[in-house]
Structure 1
Amino acid sequence: MIHGGDGGSDIARTLVDRGVVKSFDAFYQILLETTPEPVFQPGAYQLKTNMVASTALDALLDEGTRLSQTVVVPEGTATVDVLQSISEGTEIPLAELQATAASVAGFGLPAEATTLEGFLFPATYTFSPGDTAQIVLQAMVNRQFEALDSAGVAVGDRWRTIVFASLIQREAGLRDDYYKVSRVFLNRLEPARWDSGLLQSDATVAYGTGNTHLVTTTDAERGDAGNLYNTYVHPGMVVGPISNPGDLAIDAALHPADGPWLFFVTVNLDTGETVFSTTVAEHDAAVGVWQNWMREHPEYG
């Protein structure tokens, strides 16, 4: 998906994340060198993977690659951004989607749910012209229910599973790390291992501030008790979903890895390499590696 307002760096990062191109720098450099400046239309595009940067740019500017009535929802996307993608990929006005999403009673969600967050399954959807906001959103909700059923989640456990899976989805990187991240948070919920009971997830804090694209926070944000999603202040599991999780995160929530880890930090945002630690000293050393990497890659700052 290309969204309204996306700049060249946003598009380059999306292409790397989706495997269309391998190098952020190569694609971004071509953008800077192209005159006149390329203009991209919001919507869903169908591209090959492992493309040469120049070929990928040509494909994005080819109207034939833009898909009609198609919406791509990546894993971990927050509902506010899903609604934006639906609006850009279909003919449904954003205001209509927002109003429909606000009336959660008709979607069959667990009683605890006050929004659709967590229950819009991440996938590629193609809708028919004339489909209403209710039809589109219900299709995504139904698809999430199918995923939960396939994973063996009882109807009464849907809320608890989705809340935890949404946290894992936002915090984990590489596939195998999902199960380790799951274990870290469960270990932090055990008083014998972690007496504060605080999950201390930056992703939850960021979500509570409205920064749905971030997993980094400031000291002031981490100290804000008024943010109900602030797991640096409020102990126990986060109060609600912080993203829309996919099959892998759901499976990790149900089948955590065995291990003593209490900390983790992604030390390379390009490769997703994450270090899991048991002691504060081990974790501090890993954080140092991450900080050095960030200094060398200011585009991620």
Structure 2
Amino acid sequence: MTGATETQGGGPGAASASTPADAAGSRRAARESRGGRSGGRAEAPTGPRRVVRSRRGAWGCLAVLLVFVALLAVAAVILQGPIAQLFAATQGPADYEGTGDKELVVMIHEGDTGEDVAAALAKADVVKSYAAFYKLLLAESPAPVFQPGAYQLATKMSARSALDALLDKKNKLEHTVVIPEGTTAAVALQSLSEGTEVPLADIQAAAKDVASFGLPAEATSLEGFVFPATYNFTPGVTAHDAIKTLVDRQFKALDDAGVTADKRWTTITMAALIQREAGLREDYYKVSRVFYNRLNPQLWPSGLLQSDATVTYRTGNTHLATTTDSERADAGNPYNTYVHPGLPAGPISNPGDLAIDAALHPADGPWLYFVSWNLDTGETIFSATLKDHEVAVAKWLAWMKDHPEYG
């Protein structure tokens, strides 16, 4: 068909949510103390004059010394955190050393800013922190200019090595496209254009002919049926053939998982939801179970999945982890699972093999709730009761208070 080859892309959520800037602050505290008395000398009232050395003086000095040592110990404990923060601040943001470890391909899109590039590199573990790379960019003169496309990089590169690699034309891969798990169709099509050099307008026009790709009758777009992977295309590929390569690869994933044609729509819709909601690999199957339990009227009479990810898919605020009261109450949003029971109106992302498998094989468990309380690590708490869930939510809210960039 098109002569394209592919390898599966990065880990869960590789393109979802933005990566925040790392921050280091410093605080200083000090304590002063003073006190203690020294002993004097005593003379005999009569007779030959003699000096008597007072033991009081020695014990007084010892007491002062002990108090001073104790105060130093207390100060060391109190100041340990601020001193460590001050040290971290003076040392600069966390950074890897060297030119990298495991090879991988990263996409840079048309219009990406320095912040976008820093975020993408940090999320892919190319650099250790957003701040390390972005600080380097700010120090460069003239400011680096990045060309959209796919780049051969590696994990665990120093910020300097990563920047040098991005600016080296030898590392720009021709006719290569990277689509991470959880990417929306709109972003995937943009990547396809940038990697193949087929005009985006042509890609978008071809994508509108949904029926020509053999999608289920319920599909009104390519959403959910663009398999996330790294593809290498032959020069001169047409827009239709390039898209068909991605769609056919998703069909293959479904066929390999044992999904029959009549089950493709519901399987992909559930898998796409799991892909957006799950963080750590082992949580995919638990997240799947929560949603299936909520579809069970005996366990969850309302049938409302209550997923923020479905709401933000329609609002376009997919970079946020939260939704507003008005957004959750909007019945005009067909993807709003706070007001519309059952699965969302359609897929909200493009899932990979893991999410598809989780949709087909949910874990066994009584869970009805989950909350990813740490959005940096993806750590998630699953609960079977509202009481336990409220405790988990309080933990998440405390974390969000300390990380306002996610709100």
Question: 1:217 and 2:323 equivalent?
Answer: yes
Unaligned runs of 5+ in 2: 1-106
Shift of the 76–189 alpha-carbon distance from structure 1 to 2, 3 Å rule, reads same
Instruction: Kindly indicate whether the alpha-carbon contact (under 8 Å) linking 2:321 and 2:406 is maintained by their aligned counterparts in 1.
Output: no
Count of residue correspondences:
301
Q: TM-score, normalised by structure 1?
A: 0.96
Structure 1: distance between partners of 2:193 and 2:307: 31
Deviations 1:148-206, CA, capped at 9 Å, x for gaps? 11111111111111010000001101000100000010111111211111000111111
Residue 134 of structure 1 and its aligned partner are, at CA, apart by: 0.5
Residue 129 of structure 1 and its aligned partner are, at CA, apart by: 1.6
Aligned to 1:268: 374
Instruction: Identify which of 7, 13, 35 aligns with 2:119.
Output: 13
Aligned to 1:76: 182
Unaligned runs of 5+ in 1: none
User: Structure 1 vs Structure 2: percent identity of aligned residues?
Assistant: 68
Secondary structure of the residue aligned to 2:284 is: helix
Structure 2: distance between partners of 1:283 and 1:8: 39
Aligned to 2:164: 58
Question: 1:158 and 2:250 equivalent?
Answer: no
Aligned to 2:390: 284
Shift of the 9–281 alpha-carbon distance from structure 1 to 2, 3 Å rule, reads farther
Q: Which moved more, 1:60-69 or 1:287-296?
A: 287-296
Q: Which moved more, 1:92-101 or 1:26-35?
A: 26-35
Aligned to 1:94: 200
CA-based RMSD of the aligned residues comes to: 1.4
Instruction: Kindly indicate whether the alpha-carbon contact (under 8 Å) linking 1:83 and 1:97 is maintained by their aligned counterparts in 2.
Output: yes
Secondary structure of the residue aligned to 1:176 is: helix
- The residue type paired with residue 357 of structure 2 is D
Q: TM-score, normalised by structure 2?
A: 0.72
Instruction: Identify which of 25, 35, 38 aligns with 2:131.
Output: 25
Aligned to 2:334: 228
Structure 2: distance between partners of 1:257 and 1:13: 33
Secondary structure of the residue aligned to 2:398 is: helix
Aligned to 1:41: 147
Secondary structure of the residue aligned to 1:266 is: strand
Aligned to 2:225: 119
Rg larger in 1 or in 2? Answer: 2
Deviations 1:53-86, CA, capped at 9 Å, x for gaps? 2211111121211111111000010101111111
Structure 2: distance between partners of 1:27 and 1:300: 20
Aligned to 1:194: 300
Shift of the 57–295 alpha-carbon distance from structure 1 to 2, 3 Å rule, reads farther
Instruction: Kindly indicate whether the alpha-carbon contact (under 8 Å) linking 1:119 and 1:141 is maintained by their aligned counterparts in 2.
Output: yes
Deviations 1:208-251, CA, capped at 9 Å, x for gaps? 22334444322111111000000000001111111110000000
Aligned to 1:252: 358
- The residue type paired with residue 84 of structure 1 is Q
Secondary structure of the residue aligned to 1:187 is: helix
Residue 27 of structure 1 and its aligned partner are, at CA, apart by: 1.8
- The residue type paired with residue 240 of structure 1 is G
Residue 143 of structure 1 and its aligned partner are, at CA, apart by: 0.3
Structure 2: distance between partners of 1:75 and 1:37: 31
Instruction: Kindly indicate whether the alpha-carbon contact (under 8 Å) linking 2:303 and 2:341 is maintained by their aligned counterparts in 1.
Output: yes
- The residue type paired with residue 244 of structure 1 is N
Residue 294 of structure 1 and its aligned partner are, at CA, apart by: 2.4
